Amino acid sequence: MVTSSEWAHRPQSLWEDTLLDEERCAEEPFDGSLSVDITIVGAGLTGLWSAYYLAEKLPDASIAVIDAHGVGFGASGRNGGWASALLPMGLQRVEREHGRGAAISLQSVMHDTLDEIERVLEHEHIDAGAQRGGTITAARSAPQLDRVAHEVATYEQFGFGDDYQLLDAQSARNICNMSELRGALHTPHCLAVHPAKLTHGVGRAVLRKGVNLLAPVRATNVRRGFVDTDKGPIATKYIVQATEGYTSQMANQHRNMVPLYSMMIATEPLTDDVWAAIGLTDRPTFDDTRHLIVYGQRTADGRLAFGGRGAPYHFGSAIKSTFDTNHTMRNRIQQALVDLFPALHETEITHHWGGPLGIPRNWACSVDANWEDGVITAGGYVGDGVSATNLFGRIVADLIARRELDHGQHSPSELLQLPVVGPLSRRWEPEPIRWIGINSGRLAARIADRSEQRTGRKSRFWGGFIDGLLRR
């Protein structure tokens, strides 16, 4: 369990380091006695967006957001800053499980979510260093090119052909001059943001709406009518649990969500010459289609922030501040970055950090309402949460507002009919099966990437092994 005293010891991410004092959101201490209409557990983006839209829809409701550490302590303050239209469930899977119409609606709503985030940033005067440069997903080998072409074809089948385009090597290079580039997928649907500025900015907007923001307060249990905390119980009608990667630390929820670490590095500010060699002029976020995901952005202050998966899963879903840095991972991520952009071979890495993101067993994010206990649980974004938290915040607000104001008389809003509104995933396997399965999948992904790099051919065996182990 991450203790409050560890807050002081966590690594200084680029985002923490460049957050100005006046941009920080000031929480209040909790004196141990409180009664409110709605209590939100977790002051990450899910909790804060929920508070934001709830305060708009139910202006007379009393709302408290509590956090064990503080605003943006979790993934929301530490991430890669891709506010994308991605979700962990691909279009084909959503079609298989919910129908074609549901898949198209969900993707369209994700596209619109970026407009909504931009609208709120402007309306609330939040400078989150945001730029809508889209995303470029590079193909740097024959198997990667196949995967990119398949992705583009899938988007076309669902009517999104204009939004996701296949670029040839030269057109791709004009946007992002990566080594060994053979082509790329390009979409305008991504904002590059400064995650801590975004999260604290939404926090400040929430405070202006009269919401109580309390920290450090750790919820130990949620039950009908109460959130039990380390400082005393909070009496409440509704509870929104927005603890994502930390969910396994809550009472009776040990196997609901696996915390998987994603790690990042940031470079010193790059010179104009280096940027001329790399490109990324409009700040598109970038990745490629290797199995062990990497992701990057050109920051507003002219650095590269770059991250990757592949850090070990810790037995028993453990979370510790010492896991927030990992020197093997740091070196691997730096190597991967220099491999993409050889112009960076002498560039200094100024920051290294990481944090846990939440993975449900079915690899699908969801908002679940348990009205018997008045508990709404939202999250499980599998690393694609920055924009989705905004959508989920609006869904949480619609769910509670409908119950309070409409008593379910009218048909649910468009958002409440989306296929992400539904039951939580089944639970993860007990240990040691969980540890063996997840770490085997991680290893298989590394082997598959190495094999593809070496042979230039798709690694069917290891690719299939990963899908079989880690998907549904």
Ligand X SMILES: Cc1cc2nc3c(=O)[nH]c(=O)nc-3n(C[C@H](O)[C@H](O)[C@H](O)COP(=O)(O)OP(=O)(O)OC[C@H]3O[C@@H](n4cnc5c(N)ncnc54)[C@H](O)[C@@H]3O)c2cc1C
Out of 10, 25, 65, 78, the residue judged to bind ligand X by CB under 6 A:
78
Position 159, amino acid = G
Taking the alpha carbons of 254, 256, 257, 258 in that order, is the dihedral positive or negative? positive
Judged by CB under 6 A, does residue 367 bind ligand X? no
Judged by CB under 6 A, does residue 219 bind ligand X? yes
Judged by CB under 6 A, does residue 389 bind ligand X? yes
Residue 210 CB, nearest distance to ligand X (Å)? 21
Residue 246 CB, nearest distance to ligand X (Å)? 3
Out of 109, 205, 214, 242, the residue judged to bind ligand X by CB under 6 A:
242
Residue 150 CB, nearest distance to ligand X (Å)? 22
Residue 107 CB, nearest distance to ligand X (Å)? 15
Out of 81, 233, 279, 308, the residue judged to bind ligand X by CB under 6 A:
81
Residue 397 CB, nearest distance to ligand X (Å)? 15
Judged by CB under 6 A, does residue 155 bind ligand X? no
State the DSSP string of 280-304: -TT--EEEE--SS-EEEEE-TTS-E
CA diameter of the chain: 64
Reading the block at residue 294, the tokens are 């990497």
Binders of ligand X among residues 291 to 350 (CB under 6 A) are 295, 307
Measured between alpha carbons, how far is 151 from 154 in angstroms, rounded to an integer?
A: 5
Judged by CB under 6 A, does residue 47 bind ligand X? yes
Nearer to ligand X, 55 or 75 (CB): 75
Bridge-based pairing state of the strands 183-187 and 212-214: unpaired
Instruction: State phi, psi for 108 to the nearest 5 degrees.
Output: -65, -40
Please identify, among the stretches 61-69, 108-116, 313-321, 448-456, the one whose residues bind ligand X according to the rule CB under 6 A: 61-69
Judged by CB under 6 A, does residue 73 bind ligand X? yes
Give the count of residues interacting with ligand X (CB under 6 A). 44
Out of 25, 80, 133, 288, the residue judged to bind ligand X by CB under 6 A:
80
Please identify, among the stretches 14-22, 31-39, 63-71, 402-410, the one whose residues bind ligand X according to the rule CB under 6 A: 63-71
Judged by CB under 6 A, does residue 244 bind ligand X? yes
Judged by CB under 6 A, does residue 381 bind ligand X? yes
Judged by CB under 6 A, does residue 67 bind ligand X? yes
Residues 233, 321: contact at Cβ < 8 Å? no
Query: What does each C-alpha distance from 44 to 83, 200, 327, 335, 371 come to in angstroms?
Result: 14, 9, 27, 31, 23
Binders of ligand X among residues 2 to 41 (CB under 6 A) are 41
Reading the block at residue 51, the tokens are 């508070």
Residue 146 CB, nearest distance to ligand X (Å)? 25
Measured between alpha carbons, how far is 203 from 45 in angstroms, rounded to an integer?
A: 9
In 3-state terms, the chain is what percent helix, strand and coil (to 5)? 40, 20, 40
CB atoms under 10 Å from CB of 142, counted, come to 14
Nearer to ligand X, 225 or 450 (CB): 225
Judged by CB under 6 A, does residue 355 bind ligand X? yes
Residue 158 CB, nearest distance to ligand X (Å)? 21
Out of 10, 69, 140, 290, the residue judged to bind ligand X by CB under 6 A:
69
Reading the block at residue 405, the tokens are 């104001």
Instruction: State phi, psi for 313 to the nearest 5 degrees.
Output: -85, 135
Nearer to ligand X, 387 or 459 (CB): 387
Measured between alpha carbons, how far is 81 from 171 in angstroms, rounded to an integer?
A: 25
State the DSSP string of 426-441: PPPPPTTHHHHHHHHH
Judged by CB under 6 A, does residue 438 bind ligand X? no
* 329: three-class secondary structure by DSSP: helix
Judged by CB under 6 A, does residue 134 bind ligand X? no
> Helix and strand tally (H, E) in the chain?
12, 18
Measured between alpha carbons, how far is 153 from 466 in angstroms, rounded to an integer?
A: 23
* 99: three-class secondary structure by DSSP: coil
Judged by CB under 6 A, does residue 243 bind ligand X? yes
Residues in the chain: 472
Helix axes 91-98, 100-123, angle to 10 degrees: 120
Out of 36, 75, 91, 191, the residue judged to bind ligand X by CB under 6 A:
75
Out of 16, 27, 288, 384, the residue judged to bind ligand X by CB under 6 A:
384
Binding site for ligand X (CB under 6 A): 41-47, 66-69, 73-76, 78-82, 84, 218-219, 242-246, 249-250, 262, 264, 295, 307, 354-355, 357, 379, 381, 383-386, 389
